[in-house]
Every structure is written in C-alpha cells, then in structure tokens.
Chains A and B, each alone.
Chain A
Amino acid sequence: MRWVKFFFSLLLTLLVGAVLLFPFGSTPFAFGTFFDPFVGFWSNAESNDAKADLTLSLAELKGEVVVKYDKRGVPHIFAGNSEDLFFVQGYITAKDRLWQMEFQTMAAGGRLTEIVGIGKDSVVLNLDRSARRKGMVFGAENSVEKMKADDASYKALQAYTKGVNTYIESLSPGDLPIEYKLLGYQPEQWTILKSALLQKYMASTLSWRSNDIPYTHAVQLWGEKVFNTLYPEYHREDEPIVPKETRWRRREVLPAMPIPTAYHPDSMLIAGDFAPPSRDEQIVGSNNWAVSPSKSKSGHALLANDPHLSLNLPSIWYELQLQAPGINVYGVSLPGSPAVIIGFNDSIAWGVTNGSRDVLDHYTITYKNDKKKEYLHDGQWHLIEERIEEHLIKGGEIYYDTVRYTHIGPVMYEDGFAPKGKPLAVRWMAHDPSNELETFMKLNVANNYEEYVDAISTFVCPAQNFVFASVSGDIAIWQQGKIPHKWKDQGKFILDGSRRDHIWEKFIPQKDNPHAFNPPQGFVQSANQHPTTARYPYETQGRYEDFRGRRLFSLLSEKDSMTLEDMQAIQLDNYYQGAADILPFMLSELDTLQLNAVQRKAYDALKQWNYQYTTDKFEPSIYQKWWGELYRSVWDDEYKNSPLALAYVKNRTFMQLLQDSLDLSYYRIIGDSTDYSRAYHINTSFKKALSKLKEERESDNFEDWTWSEQKKTSINHLSRTLTPFSRLQIPTNGNGGILNATGTQTGPSWRMVVELGPEIKAYAIYPGGQSGNPGSPSYDSFINDWVDGKYYKLDFMKGPEVDGDYHTLKIKKKNSKE
C-alpha cells in the first residue's frame, strides 16, 4: 500500500515537474522556469534604486577601461587604446541591448522563423523568404570581405564582436533579456557577418524602394505623355539640396532608350496582386542642415540632424561617448556596429539624411527551358548559380527555397513568389561589396573638411546626405553613395535582363556627386528632396519629399544670427507646406452660399488657420480629412478600375494638377456619364469630410476634433507581438511632410543640435531610453520629454576624472594568475 502511495505521489510530482519545467502546447516557455523568482521574469525587474559602482576583470583587455554612466544612463567610455574601446563598446551595448541587436540581424538575415515559427498564413516565413530572396545575406557576405580589407574597420569589428561575445558568455540565466525568456530561445555568438547584416538592414530601410513595377503598368496603360504628367520628376518651386545656382561641368550623356510602352505584356500582374506603395507621406526621411558662422549669433557654425525612422522600442539608437588616444566622439551608435553613426567630436559634427536615390532595378529573366539552369544575356546562354536557402523553423522543420542568381542579381520573383508573370531579378546597390563602417570610423576622428570628404567618399549604399560643420567654421553637404550612371529613364520601368545595354555599367564619378561647400547663402540643408535642379548632368531618379525641404529652406533663408534654440525650434516646426500650398485654393473653390452652420464655421476657421499641426488645433484634422476625401473623390475610380496595380499620384503633383487644370479627364468618374467638375469634387469632399469627422469623433463640437484625437503616435516593441512593451497612442504634434515629421509610427528618431565653438555645445533627445529592458525605468524614460519637445544638454566629457552624478563601471585586465 505504501509503495502504491509512493508511486502515485511520484507520478504526480513528475507530471507537475514536467509541466513546470518544459514548454507545453503553443507556450514558448516553461512556466516553472518563467515564474522562478530567482531566474525567471522577476529577475528582469530592475530595482529603481541608484545603480552601484562596479568593477569587472576581463582577460581580453589590454588595459584598464573606465565607463562613466551619466544620470540618463549614457555611457562615456575611456580606454587606453582603440581595440579596448570598441571591445567595451560591444560589451556594454550588449549589456543594454542584446536582444534588439540580435533580433534586428535575425530579421535582416531572414531567420525570424527560428524564433517565432512560420506565423499565421506563413507571414513570417514569407518575410524571411523575401529577405533571403532579395539578397540580404548575399550582400552582407560580400561586405564582410570588403570590411576585412580595411585594417581599422576589421580590428574594430573584431574587438566589438569579442566584446559582445564576452558579455554573452558571462550572462547568467537570470540576466537573459526578457524577450528570450518569453519567446523561449537563447542568444547565439555575435559575428562580423551580423554587423554586416545590420548595415544591410539600414540599406534596406532606406533604399529598398521602387516603383518599377507600378510605373511599368502606368506607362503601358496610359502612354508616355500621361505618365509624365502624373509622375513628374520635378515640381515647381522645388528647393533642391545643393543651391539652385550651382554650375555643373557637362558630362557625357548616355544614349536614351525608347520608353517601353508595350513592355513585357506577359510579365504583367493582376491588380491587387502587388501592393503599390502607400499614398501616405510618412515615408521614412530626415532633416539636416548646417549654418555658417556668418549666420550664427555666436559666430560659430551650427549643425542639426533629425533622422525620421520607424519608431521602435528598444530604440534604433544607443547614445554614448567614445574616448581613447586619437579619438573623442559623442553621438548615437547602432546597436550591432562599432563607432558613432551621427554625432560630433572636438573638431567637427556631422549628420545624415536619406538620399532617396533609386538604386534598385528589376530585370526580366529569360530561361533557356523549364530546367532554369541557363538564362539569356547579350545573345548568349549563361549559367544560373543556385543558392539553396535553408529556413529552420521553430519546432525542427526545415523549409528549402531555391534562389537563382544571375550576374545581374538574384531572381527574386518567380516560382509563385509574387508577382506573377515573367521571372524578375533584382539589381540592388546593397549587393555590391561595400564597407560603410569605414566612413563612420573616419568621421569619428576627422578634424576638417578634407578629412570629412575623404571619410564619406567610399560610402556606397544607401545614398546619404552627409551634412558637415567644423570648429574652424566650414559647412558642407554631400549627397554620397555609389550611384549608377543611367541613360534617361533607365530603371524607371522594368528592364530587360537579356540586353546588355540595360545593365548598370557605369557609375557616377564620386567627385560629381551633388555637393556644396560654404555656399554664399550661409547654410546647407537637406530634407530628402531632389538633390539638384534638372541642370545636373546625370539621372537622379528617386523617391523625393516635396514639402519639408521648401519650408526648411525658407526658415533658414529668413533668419540671421541663429542660435541653438532656433535650431531646436526648426526641428519642432509644425507648419505644413502642403496645406499652405493648396488650402487657399480649395477654400476659394467652395460655394459658401451652400454651407450649413457647421460647414460655415469650419470654412471660417480654415481661412484663419496658420497651417500649424499642433495637438490643440482642430484645423489640421479638418484639412487632413478634406484633402484625403478630395484625393479619393478624384482618383479612387481610376485606381479601383485599373486592371494593373498602380503607384499613387503624389500629393504635390495632384495639388499642381488641381490648380492648373480646370478640366482634367480624371475628374470624370469611371462608369458615370456626368461631366463632374473640379468644383464638384472640392465641394462634395468638404462636406463628406466634415460628416466623417462628426461620425468618427461622435460630436460636431470642434473641440473634440483636435489633432491630438485624430493622430496618435505608437512606438512599437520590435517584436510587434509583445504589445505591452510598446508605448501606444501618444498624442503628438506634427505629421509626415512637416519638419516635425512625427507620424503614426515614424518620426524623429534622434533630434540633435550642435554648436561648434571652442567648447562644443550640444543638445539632443531620442524617443526611447538607454536600456533595452522593458523592466527597467530607463526603457522609455526619454519619451515624455521627446513628446514635449524637450532636449537634454549633452555631457561631452573631457576625461574620466570628474565628480558628479555618475556611476562607474571599471573593467580591469584580468591577470592570468587570478
């Protein structure tokens, strides 16, 4: 009997033990482990008490390194040599951001299925396949070779990698970031390939954009003339990045090819099969500018930069100061890469915005036969190189995907990987061997304009606008990237991979890239707009922003004797140029006799409005809704009835068409014989917008229609699924297309202003916090101040010997005896 009791009890205990110690069902973690208060999620609950000083001993160091954390958690690293410096950068970045570093590179390398499985309707698997098929790993592998060739980058990468791995090895199970515990996996070793994948992750964010497919559709449906009307390259009143009066040397112009009006009829897609780019202006973009001493109050050059990116937690940026003999630099780094990416040292400051140039083209591929082993190019059959992509799926399954590589690039679309039709290969600048890190390594230690130019001249992809200012009073901007030298409209439409003259053969010489150095206007600026006027002797296709640049240019032109406060005010500027452009016209077209009381009130308010998008105003809500309704009223029937997926007409283009053309064929509604007028669309959309707002806000009191109600910003946890780790629905000023480009999920990811006097003065903030741990008070500690438009004074330390509100991490070299 007692044995029976024992066995019964044993069985029960083992059962409960098994349930507690192993994940069961779809739960990715074991309950017993997860709740274990010693090693489970409770140990990620960081104490709110002040951090204690700490001393570590690590065998990998050459000498002692001191890290001073200031009260915002920003580490200031003081090392005796650059290898120790980058080792410790890797170590402490991993300490704060390990999960994020790895997750980003897993996403870049198409390995998310290993962490979360294939997802609902295979969404995760398709995301991974897409990353692999577009050649992310291929590009990263090419870059690793290039990185190894540069001694300084390679040493920094090796040291950084060692630092990250030393941290991972020292990690006790309790300190494992909470996301690993929740999703049930372990960190792997950091590698140089992962740092290269991070570069490609940025390249993808900023340059994986193309209208080749929808543009080919448009030119096929409507012909060249209509195409050029709807998708013009330039707009009136554009303020390009380099001053308009810039003169260019004449260049060899490549012979133009005819625009393919009857291009590849068999490669076309069915509408809806390929999602066209969104109509939204909230594409990622950025502002940067520099002001020369002649226009600055202090007589020192000023520089500002705010890159607008997808807003996430943990933040894309990690703030720090790096100091060792020969280097003393402050700014933000990308977790996963050594060096500072945007910042300043004691001689210069620099910042980046996206160049938005088109460096991604699509080519049809003609196979010899169904075996798909050979493809046609320049009259000859060439061999395909197959790359078998192995997708490991959580739970043990493997999905194999064959990607065929031509000498142009990988055949991304075929075999049922949408779109339908002819196989399409992609040629993307990020496939080429490149070492973007080298640029940042050199910028970190640059002293003057010449060294800045030398630093950026090797930067390949994504094309960036590098703004520069120095203590010696120089300012400059270069749009830098390796850009194919194209014939007119080459790559605007799908190209033919069998033709030699369709291939990118030449590249724009680096010295001909658009640039300005100490221009007479006394400032340089960029906001993702067109880099030049049409006089620039090379093709400059791209996806450009039309409004921010004009506003920025006029603000900088108007003002003299500028201060850092002015720079902040410009970054926080909420004036929408688009509304200023078109609203007076729209109002003038309204038939005011036909308005009811509410409509009249709205009309009067809009007439008085100063085009400011602030949370307390209701006018932006009305304008935004009205413009959206007007757009739909005119264009929806064209898009919905199109047999092929099309790219949306840009707001800027539509605004000009609207003002220029009383009679436009698009005003007609397809399938309706009435001859609708421009005024009809403007008047009906106004009324519709107001009734929609009333419906949405459940009130016709304008006080309930404020911008704070209508637009909210969400800062999502990178996983997207662990929503309690996100900060959702924050009312914010600004919008896409406005200098303060705070959209619903994108916005200024780092606002920085710098004055380059003998003592560098700098202010900055980013919407996140230094810690990547959702259980830490430092996880999102800057967000409220960021929303309020506040800045922090940056503590550019001279050396480690200071008193004040710091806590110290001392890392000593471990003696082999110990």
Chain B
Amino acid sequence: MRFVLRFIFVGLIGFLCGSYLPQFPLWPSMAGAFLVGLLLSRKKKKWVFGKKQKPTYAFLAGFLALLIVWGLVAFTKDSANASLLSEKIGGVFDVFLGMEGEWLIPKPNMLVLITALIGGLAGGLSIMTGNLLGEAIKS
C-alpha cells in the first residue's frame, strides 16, 4: 500500500510540477519525491507487516513513478512528432561525441529510454533520501 501511495504521489507531483512549473526543470519533482519519502517514512517498526522494509523499496517506487511519467510524456511527444526531432537530436549527439554509425536501438527509442532513466534515477534517489531522513529522525 505504502509502495502504491509513494508511487502515485511521486508520479503525480512529477507530472504536475513538470506541467505547471516550466521555469524549474526537474528539481521541484526531486524535492517533491523527497517530501513524499519523508512524510511516508515509517513511524515505528511494528507498522510493517512483519517484514523489515528496506530503503530500496522507497527507491523503487520513486524510480518507477518518474520513469513512467517521463518516459510516457517523452513517448507521447515523440509519436505526435513522428520522431522528426528525436532522429535529429540523436544525430547531434553523434556530432558532439564524434560518433558515427548505428545506435544499438533506434535513436528515438534510445532517447525516450534515456529520458525515462534520468527521471527514474532522480525520482528514486530523492524519495530514498527523504525516506532515510524520516527514519533517522524517528528512530
């Protein structure tokens, strides 16, 4: 349940901050995930159903939440654009990195994947830190 709550809150905050706070990229979502982690951290051990909960669960919830939100938003925009821009941006990375040749998977897919992973990483780390702070304070 807590996993689901974490997942929903981080995802929702990530989506809302992204949509309505365009001046501030990424970090309001990170701050949001941190707060979710802090507020939804365990009060006492016995609250958990017999199992010792690890911070990795918190990480996983945040990671999946922003992974899905960022990935889906990127995927939607890419589809509506028929990958016109993502092909070119992939090419720009080739130029910047001095690479030539094929990518492992098509450029647009790869860029959606990288986007999702960046979101996931930021979300996961933030909620985990919040969670650990909560636990440290309450212990």
Contact residues of A with B, CB < 8 Å?
A: 2-3, 5-6, 9-10, 12-13, 16-17, 20-21, 27, 30-33, 35-49, 172-174, 178, 182, 721-725, 774-777
Contacts and interface: CB of A to CB of B under 8 A. Distances in A.
Contacts of A774: 85, 88
Contacts of B48: none
A32 B132 contact: no
B125 interface: yes
B133 interface: yes
Interface residues of B, number: 46
Contacts of A775: 81, 84-85, 88
Contacts of B74: 35, 37, 42
B84 A9 contact: no
Nearest to B80: A47
A21 B85 contact: no
Pick the most buried of A30, A46, A49: most chain B CB atoms within 10 A of its CB. Answer: A46
A13 B25 contact: no
B3 interface: no
Contact of B115 (A35, A178, A776): A35
Nearest to B117: A35
B55 A38 contact: no
A723 to B, nearest CB: 6
Contact of A38 (B19, B30, B34, B128): B19
A12 B122 CA distance: 10
19 contacts: A5-B136, A6-B129, A13-B125, A13-B129, A17-B125, A20-B26, A21-B25, A30-B25, A32-B118, A35-B118, A36-B18, A37-B115, A38-B25, A42-B74, A47-B77, A48-B84, A178-B89, A724-B91, A774-B88
B70 interface: yes
A173 B26 contact: no
Nearest to A776: B84
B114 A6 contact: no
Contacts of B129: 6, 9-10, 12-13
B91 A37 contact: no
A3 B25 contact: no
Contact of A6 (B18, B89, B136): B136
Given A32-B122, A775-B81, A722 B73 contact: no
B119 to A, nearest CB: 8
Contact of B81 (A27, A39, A46, A172): A46
B113 to A, nearest CB: 11
Given A36-B18, A48-B84, A775-B85, 11 more contacts: A9-B55, A12-B129, A20-B26, A27-B96, A35-B114, A38-B25, A42-B74, A42-B115, A46-B81, A49-B80, A173-B25
- Per CB-CB distance, the 10 closest pairs between chain A and chain B, nearest first, are A724-B91, A775-B85, A38-B18, A45-B81, A37-B73, A6-B132, A37-B74, A47-B80, A2-B136, A13-B125
A729 to B, nearest CB: 14
A3 B18 contact: no
Given A9-B55, A9-B125, A17-B122, A39 B132 contact: no
Given A5-B136, A39-B22, A13 B30 contact: yes
A725 B84 CA distance: 11
Contacts of B70: 35-37
Nearest to B138: A2
B135 A45 contact: no
Contacts of A49: 80
Given A16-B125, A17-B30, A45 B136 contact: no
Given A37-B115, A724-B88, A724-B91, A47 B81 contact: yes
Contacts of B23: 173
A74 B55 CA distance: 56
B95 A5 contact: no
A659 B52 CA distance: 98
Question: Which secondary structure dominates chain B's binding surface?
Answer: helix
A41 B89 contact: yes
Interface in B45-80: 55, 70, 73-74, 77-78, 80
Nearest to B128: A9
Contacts of B80: 45, 47-49
B25 A777 contact: no
A38 B95 CA distance: 25
B19 to A, nearest CB: 6
Contacts of A9: 55, 125, 128-129, 132
B18 A12 contact: no
A182 B89 CA distance: 9
B133 A45 contact: no
B74 to A, nearest CB: 4
Nearest to B75: A37
B82 interface: yes
Given A5-B132, A45-B84, A16 B121 contact: yes
B92 interface: yes
A21 B26 CA distance: 8
B77 A43 contact: yes
Contacts of B111: 35
A33 B26 contact: yes
Nearest to A48: B82
A777 B88 CA distance: 13
B102 to A, nearest CB: 15
Contacts of A33: 25-26
Contacts of A725: 88, 92
Pick the most buried of B30, B88, B92: most chain A CB atoms within 10 A of its CB. Answer: B88
B25 A39 contact: yes
A37 B18 contact: yes
Given A38-B19, A42-B78, A777 B89 contact: no
Contacts of B87: 724
Given A16-B121, A36-B26, A38-B25, A724 B81 contact: no
A20 B25 CA distance: 10
B125 A32 contact: no
A37 B135 CA distance: 32
A30 B86 CA distance: 17
Nearest to B19: A38
A181 B78 CA distance: 18
B112 to A, nearest CB: 9
A724 B26 contact: no
A724 B95 CA distance: 8
B103 to A, nearest CB: 13
Pick the most buried of B23, B74, B135: most chain A CB atoms within 10 A of its CB. Answer: B74
A40 B112 CA distance: 12
Interface in B1-46: 18-19, 22-23, 25-27, 30, 34
Interface string B92-117: 10111000000000000001001100
